[in-house]
A and B are shown apart, each in its own frame.
Chain A
């Protein structure tokens, strides 16, 4: 009974992509459940390793946010939540963004002060099968092992995020893509200690925390603008969403329509479009025509979850014309 609102809204390809995305996120969580303890065990007193470890823990946030949001989003709208639960994606996105931002800032300050105080990282050795091995080699090996899978996760999620128009998934894919740089950063830092450059570790940690902070800034900004009902854009916020133009084009092609202005809310997965239509002189549409126009708009794309058509004499000031027109 629950879990229907989301699925009904998607077309068959979308449902398949969503199932795939859910599987990918569970796979990511499983991967992190293995790497976080292992990285934690070998972290020792390397600042760069500690930063990378904390980033690994933080990368749990977007997959969890996505899975929770998918669950909540599936609930059907009701009198108490008349627009449904689609905004839960935005809320999840904001929480993940703020977590990244805070942790990034904290780590950046900590690493910078370690560098300034000239604290030198001590890394000892362990005995493995009767052989003494420097822990630094272990750290580098473990970090190298965490590189390939996130790159692959990131590529698949990026494709699915584009298809599903899901910004949390996009943020997660982006983070996975950045993860390998973190791993390389910590390898360089520990390698630097290995050749006697004590500052390499703190410098690498600064680089890693900078990347976490940047992720945080991007995601916090993106989620806040979405919650503020900024105009609907593509999944990567690169440009206004082309579906809005398609609504303009479709409505303008109707015989009774003189001019169209719209206001669109991006509710996370779906759009809520208010289309203001000025009818031609003496061509006031009948109710059936309005109904038909609304149904046709919704059929343009599965993202058009809710379309309201309002015949008006004067347009509201904030409603906008088709992109490229004024």
Chain B
């Protein structure tokens, strides 16, 4: 009786572990789909719409936006063959536009303590820096919620290029 119980428990455990390993391996590198097909839209001559708010040295506004995050986005767009369209504004205005589907990304030296988690998708932390006051800042970007394939694509790009 007890032996059968143990055997059943062991079998369940093995099945469970096999499922975890199997599904994880199957999932490796497989990208989810976007709810609104952002990745397909920006590919090959599409337009990547990016909101930018000033926060040097990450983002600086002038005749043309510049800064480390702006440079990253330029590289990301060129890899997709996408045309870049910048929009300047305050964080709130830009996040509203992102939520409404008028923008694809918002940058501005944002960190993982951003309050916009309910309105937007927050990327994985791509870079950690120590601020002047000695605090560790974990930098992220915002994308439109629901565009999970696009989000993952940007994360993969930031992991490869954003750490420096």
Contacts and interface: CB of A to CB of B under 8 A. Distances in A.
Interface of A: 27, 45, 119-128, 131-134, 136-138, 140-142, 144-149, 151-152, 156, 193-198
27 contacts: A121-B145, A122-B121, A122-B143, A124-B123, A124-B124, A124-B152, A125-B152, A125-B156, A132-B156, A133-B29, A134-B32, A137-B30, A138-B27, A140-B27, A141-B27, A142-B20, A144-B19, A145-B17, A145-B19, A147-B19, A148-B15, A149-B13, A152-B9, A156-B5, A195-B33, A196-B32, A196-B149
B122 A124 contact: yes
Contacts, number: 118
Contact of B24 (A132, A133, A156): A133
A277 B21 CA distance: 67
B23 interface: yes
Contacts of B146: 120-122, 198
Nearest to B22: A141
Given A122-B148, A132-B159, A134-B148, 16 more contacts: A27-B9, A120-B35, A122-B120, A124-B121, A124-B148, A132-B29, A136-B27, A137-B30, A140-B23, A140-B27, A142-B20, A144-B23, A147-B19, A149-B9, A196-B37, A198-B35
B104 interface: no
A136 B19 contact: no
Contact of A196 (B24, B34, B123, B145): B34
Nearest to B35: A198
B28 interface: yes
A120 B19 CA distance: 27
Interface in B133-164: 143, 145-149, 151-152, 155-156, 159
Interface in B44-101: none
Contacts of B132: none
Contacts of A120: 35, 145-146
B90 to A, nearest CB: 22
A156 B120 CA distance: 45
B124 A127 contact: yes
Contacts of A147: 16, 19
A141 B20 contact: yes
Contacts of B122: 122, 124
Of listed B11, B29, B146, B149, residue having the most chain A CB within 10 A: B146
B128 to A, nearest CB: 14
Contacts of B152: 124-125, 132, 134
